Amino acid sequence: MSFASAPTDKAAADFVATELERLMSLPLDTAEDAKRWDVACGDFQTALETRFPSFKVEHHVWHFFVDSDIRQEDSGYRQRQHQAISDYVTRLRN
């Protein structure tokens, strides 16, 4: 998908990329970290739906949104999921 054709698409892509990077940087070491992550993720989803209601993220991003408990317990899963999200962020920025 090319985002160069519509400024709002580019703005949405930049917003999503930045927010996904921010979410990936949040710690998930404790139960409190997980609660903060879930709140931050919910805030991002609300902002995305409000600001860019027609922007659709790739399917695997929805797993990233809901799998914080798995990432907290399984570092290999976390690494694979972060790589997939990082690859998506790269596509959004290009």
Tens digit of each residue's pLDDT (9 = 90 or more) over 18-61: 999 999 999 999 999 999 999 999 999 999 999 999 999 999 99
- 55-90 confidence digits (pLDDT tens): 999 999 999 999 999 999 999 999 999 999 999 999
What pLDDT sits at residue 11? 95
In-domain check, residue 1: no
Torsion of Cα atoms, 36 then 64 then 28 then 70, to 10° = 120
What is the rounded CA–CA span in Å between residue 29 and residue 87? 24
Tokens 């979410």 -> residue: 23
Question: What is the pLDDT, as a whole number, of residue 48?
Answer: 97
Q: Work out the end-to-end distance of the chain between its first and last CA atoms, rounded to an integer number of angstroms.
A: 10
Predicted confidence band at 8 (pLDDT cuts at 50, 70, 90)? low
Task: Tell me whether residue 15 is in a domain.
Answer: yes
Smallest CA-to-CA distance from 57 within 23, 20, 26 is with: 20
Asked if residues 13 and 63 have their Cβ atoms less than 8 Å apart, the reply is no
Q: pTM of the prediction?
A: 0.89
Q: Is residue 32 part of a domain?
A: yes
**Structural domain boundaries enclosing 65:** 7-93
User: What's the structural domain count of the chain?
Assistant: 1
25 belongs to a structural domain: yes
Residue 2 lies in a domain: no
Residue 60 falls inside a structural domain = yes
Chain-wide mean pLDDT for the chain? 92
